[in-house]
Amino acid sequence: MSLLRLAVILLLLFAFSLGEHRSFTVDYKNDCFRKDGETFRYISGSIHYSRIPRVYWKDRLLKMYMAGLNAIQTYIPWNYHEESPGRYSFSGDRDVEYFLQLAQDIGFVVILRPGPYVCGEWDMGGLPAWLLTKKDIVLRSSDPDYIAAVDKWMGKLLPMMKPYLYQNGGPIITVQVENEYGSYFACDYNYMRHLSKLFRSYLGDEVVLFTTDGAGLNYLKCGSIQDLYATVDFGPGGNVTAAFEAQRHAEPHGPLVNSEFYTGWLDHWGSHHSVVSSARVAKSLNEMLAMGANVNLYMFIGGTNFGYWNGANSPYAPQPTSYDYDAPLSEAGDLTEKYYTIREVIRMYNKIPAGPIPPTTPKYSYGTVVMTQLQTVSDALEKLSFSGPVKSMYPQTFIELNQAFGYMLYRTVLPVDCSTPTPLSSPLNGIHDRAYVSVDGVSVGILERNKALTVNVTGKAGSQVDILVENMGRINYGKGINDFKGLVSNLTLGADTLLDWIMYSLSIDEAVSQGLLGETKPTDPPPLAALSLPAFYKGSFIIPDGIPDLPQDTYIKLPQWRKGQVWINGFNLGRYWPSRGPQVTLFVPANILSTAQPNNVTVLELEEAPCSSGTCNVEFTSTPILNATVQAHHEGDAYVKLRELGAAQEKSICDIH
Ligand SMILES: *[C@@H]1O[C@H](CO)[C@@H](O)[C@H](O)[C@H]1NC(C)=O
Ligand SMILES: *[C@@H]1O[C@H](CO)[C@@H](O)[C@H](O)[C@H]1NC(C)=O
Ligand SMILES: *[C@@H]1O[C@H](CO)[C@@H](O)[C@H](O)[C@H]1NC(C)=O
Ligand SMILES: *[C@@H]1O[C@H](CO)[C@@H](O)[C@H](O)[C@H]1NC(C)=O
Ligand SMILES: *[C@@H]1O[C@H](CO)[C@@H](O)[C@H](O)[C@H]1NC(C)=O
């Protein structure tokens, strides 16, 4: 051996012993994590990049950093990145690598939760709807078709993630396998073992893989398996010691970890806005940190379910567009009283970085925008249905027609004269999820899953029946995640099954962003019906160039409008439904606004626009309203009750059967 080689080897050994080798491990002897050999405890916050515009990632991460957090946790929703089989998107708002890089540059380590199932109040818990093309697929199990799709996806995703592992120079310290699997009926250990092997094969033997389950033995039973470090999740207000005892049953040694400590709670359309007091959060957080536990605050910022991304709970209760969550940073990233309270708790355990906290972004009231009517959905079918109509004897579902999200129009005719009101029904509760029914161009009523299964119709034989069906978001938790959309069972008229359907798959987002929708012909005087036909409306407003600091964020409010979808400059902001609440305003991030051109507002109103009386406005305001009082809708309230129980066993809604 030459002297030079010896010198190099000695140098390498020296470097190694100095801790040049990055490592992250579980120390079972001392009940802690070790980072580069040193004891490490994380105080982390959840942030979902899929719910925040890319331009705001840095702002939100910096605010989290200034709260004293040393880690962030995020989900990777599969359906956000593989919208159709083999077609991947990882750019712009979906650039998860850029997000990880930003987090590392700011000084965080990352807890990654790549699914394949994530729950998260996200459409179908992050699973792509196209998995349902196999009708009887058993999701989250060893079903070979499901496994084949998972293997392919993970074969794409995990090699991308590998360079970002801590030991490879990146920020990712731990990777979660599946999500709260112990709450799922299948209890398929082979599936979990398969995932564990799959993750290991792509990520290597060094990475700490873990699972998360409710803090109860019944959850941990099917959720935890060997080689995956078992952690628990629970909210504030309960007995922290008792909750961690559940983890100790699965992991007698190793660090205590609460992977989802709830800072707030989710909402459902038709129930009250969830609020959890800062004092309650602070008390339990303090107790956990005093025990030396690792904690992830879920959510630290909730963000927004833009477009169609919200999920739903079962019995069917969809979540609204806002995912504010009453988190320490608001939906729009605003600093709240809860933020400062949590920061003071963290300060007792971690050094808070020096320097200013990025301020709350200013909001601007752009005022009132006059809206005018464009075509109805039925009149615009040729422009909206890119693939043209499909005929079939019985109705087909969204996925059979290769559509995942949004709206589909089902058309047939009255087979007989209905001179007296005749019930048009969905006897098997097959309206998924809401249907706007018209006969010969007159709205006759609304059908809604679990709620309204019949409307009366009159008309001559041969009258055209149009049924616009809205997918309001797929169930994200439990057995119901195989949530087919559209007319999923036959409709009847009187005693007869309605036959011979013409179905129009609708590409509304494309039509809106390409400006394809035309002005309407002068409308006939509105019929006596209480509802108008589903139709588009447009308006525009100018933000003058040269005013410093504009454009700024804002909120859109649709007073007297009932229910629908709204776009600005072709960007789908999400659903509005102020008549049901609790959400009244939608967050409009400044990055979709323009000072160079007029800003275009497009509204699809499904029930009744306030335009018949002449005035027809939307408003831009500087204050959000997420908590409007609503009439009680019982399913939603049941979830609120569960939360109010407040036990240590309190689980994410993702775990309530
Ligand atoms: C919390 O739970 C622990 C362990 O089960 C128990 O010893 C303790 O008494 C409980 N504390 C309270 C305040 O109930
Ligand atoms: C339909 O009409 C019948 C007879 O007029 C009435 O009893 C029933 O309540 C109506 N149903 C609905 C859903 O309006
Ligand atoms: C409609 O009814 C027919 C005849 O009973 C049946 O074959 C078909 O599967 C049903 N379609 C749906 C969507 O339920
Ligand atoms: C709004 O629509 C007009 C007319 O189609 C178009 O010229 C303009 O560029 C649009 N504005 C933006 C910001 O895209
Ligand atoms: C809604 O929230 C605002 C701001 O926190 C509060 O002032 C108001 O009282 C709340 N309204 C309801 C109905 O809870």
Q: Whose CA is nearest to atom 2 of ligand 5?
A: 627
Average pLDDT, the chain: 93
Of the pLDDT bands very low, low, confident and very high (cuts 50, 70, 90), residue 657 is: very low
239 lines ligand 1 (CB under 6 A): yes
Mean of pLDDT values over 514-535: 77
Inter-residue contact 492 to 424 (CB < 8 Å): yes
Q: Whose CA is nearest to atom 1 of ligand 4?
A: 600
Q: What ligand 4 atom has the least distance to the C-alpha of 598? A: 11
Q: Ligand nearest 541 Cα, by number?
A: 4
Of the pLDDT bands very low, low, confident and very high (cuts 50, 70, 90), residue 139 is: very high
Q: Is the peptide bond before 299 cis (omega within 30 degrees of 0)?
A: yes
Coil, helix or strand at residue 335: strand
With a cut of 50, say whether residue 44 has pLDDT above it. yes
**CA nearest to 369, candidates 589, 557, 548:** 557
Q: How far apart are alpha carbons 203 and 114 in whole angstroms?
A: 12
Pocket test for ligand 4, best of 600, 601, 602 (most atoms within 8 A of CB): 600
**Which residue matches tokens 């959510």?**
299
Q: Whose CA is nearest to atom 6 of ligand 3?
A: 394
Of the pLDDT bands very low, low, confident and very high (cuts 50, 70, 90), residue 547 is: confident
Q: What ligand 4 atom has the least distance to the C-alpha of 540? A: 1
pLDDT tens, position by position, 405-416 = 999 999 999 999
Q: What residues does ligand 3 touch, defined as CB less than 6 Å away?
A: 394-395, 489-490, 497
pLDDT at position 637 is 42
Instruction: Indicate which residue of 121, 178, 260, 605 is catalytic.
Output: 260
Q: What ligand 2 atom has the least distance to the C-alpha of 456? A: 1
Coil, helix or strand at residue 452: strand
Q: Whose CA is nearest to atom 14 of ligand 5?
A: 627
Of the pLDDT bands very low, low, confident and very high (cuts 50, 70, 90), residue 349 is: very high
* pTM beyond 0.85: yes
Pocket test for ligand 3, best of 390, 392, 394, 426 (most atoms within 8 A of CB): 394
Q: What ligand 2 atom has the least distance to the C-alpha of 420? A: 5
Hey, what are 592's tokens? 């979709």
Q: Is 355 exposed, middle or buried (0-12, 13-18, 19+ CB in 10 A)?
A: exposed
Ligand 4 center to residue 64 CA distance, Å? 36
627 lines ligand 5 (CB under 6 A): yes
Q: Ligand nearest 421 Cα, by number?
A: 2
242 lines ligand 1 (CB under 6 A): yes
CA-based angle 310:617:555, to the nearest 5?
45
Which phi and psi angles does 207 have, rounded to 5°? Answer: -65, 140
With a cut of 70, say whether residue 591 has pLDDT above it. yes
Work out the end-to-end distance of the chain between its first and last CA atoms, rounded to an integer number of angstroms: 68
241 lines ligand 1 (CB under 6 A): yes
Pocket test for ligand 3, best of 490, 498, 501 (most atoms within 8 A of CB): 490
With a cut of 80, say whether residue 631 has pLDDT above it. no
Instruction: Indicate which residue of 121, 178, 180, 400 is catalytic.
Output: 180
Q: Ligand nearest 275 Cα, by number?
A: 5
With a cut of 50, say whether residue 110 has pLDDT above it. yes
pLDDT at position 518 is 87
Ligand 5 center to residue 272 CA distance, Å? 11
Inter-residue contact 617 to 587 (CB < 8 Å): no
CA-based angle 539:542:543, to the nearest 5?
140
pLDDT at position 528 is 59
Residues of the chain with pLDDT > 90: what percent? Answer: 88
Q: What residues does ligand 2 touch, defined as CB less than 6 Å away?
A: 421, 423, 454-456
Coil, helix or strand at residue 449: coil
With a cut of 90, say whether residue 129 has pLDDT above it. yes
608 among known catalytic residues? no
With a cut of 70, say whether residue 655 has pLDDT above it. no
Ligand 2 center to residue 456 CA distance, Å? 6
Q: How many other C-beta atoms are found inside a 10 Å radius of the C-beta of residue 600? A: 18
**Which residue matches tokens 């010198």?**
7
pLDDT at position 8 is 56
Q: What ligand 5 atom has the least distance to the C-alpha of 627? A: 1
Ligand 2 center to residue 420 CA distance, Å? 10
pLDDT at position 564 is 98
pLDDT tens, position by position, 284-342 = 999 999 999 999 999 999 999 999 999 999 999 999 999 999 999 999 999 999 999 99
Ligand 5 center to residue 330 CA distance, Å? 14
Which phi and psi angles does 635 have, rounded to 5°? Answer: -55, -50
Inter-residue contact 344 to 515 (CB < 8 Å): no
Q: Whose CA is nearest to atom 9 of ligand 2?
A: 456
Pinpoint the alpha helices (H) of 456-590: 508-513
Q: Whose CA is nearest to atom 10 of ligand 2?
A: 456
Inter-residue contact 357 to 610 (CB < 8 Å): no
Q: Whose CA is nearest to atom 13 of ligand 3?
A: 489
Of the pLDDT bands very low, low, confident and very high (cuts 50, 70, 90), residue 356 is: very high
Mean of pLDDT values over 271-290: 97
260 among known catalytic residues? yes
pLDDT at position 64 is 98
**CA nearest to 214, candidates 250, 189, 186:** 250
Q: Ligand nearest 396 Cα, by number?
A: 3
With a cut of 90, say whether residue 47 has pLDDT above it. yes
Ligand 3 center to residue 135 CA distance, Å? 14
Ligand 5 center to residue 68 CA distance, Å? 29
pLDDT at position 84 is 96
Hey, what are 547's tokens? 């005013």
Q: How far apart are alpha carbons 263 and 300 in whole angstroms?
A: 7
Q: Whose CA is nearest to atom 6 of ligand 1?
A: 242
Ligand 4 center to residue 87 CA distance, Å? 29
Q: Which residues have a Cβ under 8 Å from the Cβ of 118 and sit 6 or more positions away?
A: 75, 76, 77, 78, 125, 126, 179
Inter-residue contact 302 to 323 (CB < 8 Å): yes
- Long-range contacts at 439-448 (CB < 8 A, ≥ 24 apart): 439/414, 439/463, 439/464, 439/465, 439/466, 440/464, 441/378, 441/533, 442/527, 442/529, 442/533, 443/527, 443/529, 443/531, 443/532, 443/533, 444/529, 444/531, 445/531, 446/531, 446/607
**CA nearest to 563, candidates 501, 638, 656, 470:** 470
Q: Which residues have a Cβ under 8 Å from the Cβ of 630 and sit 6 or more positions away?
A: 270, 271, 272, 580, 581, 582
pLDDT at position 260 is 98
Q: Which carries the bigger pLDDT value, residue 629 or residue 127?
A: 127
Pocket test for ligand 1, best of 217, 241, 245, 287 (most atoms within 8 A of CB): 241
Q: What residues does ligand 4 touch, defined as CB less than 6 Å away?
A: 515, 569, 594, 597-600
Ligand 3 center to residue 428 CA distance, Å? 11
Q: Whose CA is nearest to atom 6 of ligand 5?
A: 627
**CA nearest to 444, candidates 575, 563, 534, 565:** 534
pLDDT at position 474 is 98
- Long-range contacts at 632-637 (CB < 8 A, ≥ 24 apart): 632/270, 632/271, 633/269, 633/270, 633/271, 633/580, 635/268, 635/270, 635/271, 635/313, 635/315, 635/316, 635/317, 635/450, 636/268, 636/269, 636/270, 636/271, 636/272, 636/317, 637/271, 637/272
Ligand 2 center to residue 447 CA distance, Å? 14
Q: Which of 19-23, 27-31, 129-133, 299-303 shows the lowest mean pLDDT across its residues?
A: 19-23
DSSP 125-156: GG--GGGGGSTT--TTTT-HHHHHHHHHHHHH
Ligand 5 center to residue 282 CA distance, Å? 21
Taking CA atoms, 207 is separated from 22, 167, 200, 432, in Å, by 11, 8, 8, 42
Looking only at the bridges linking them, the beta strands covering 317-318 and 312-313 are antiparallel
Q: How far apart are alpha carbons 233 and 299 in whole angstroms?
A: 12
Q: Which residues have a Cβ under 8 Å from the Cβ of 87 and sit 6 or more positions away?
A: none
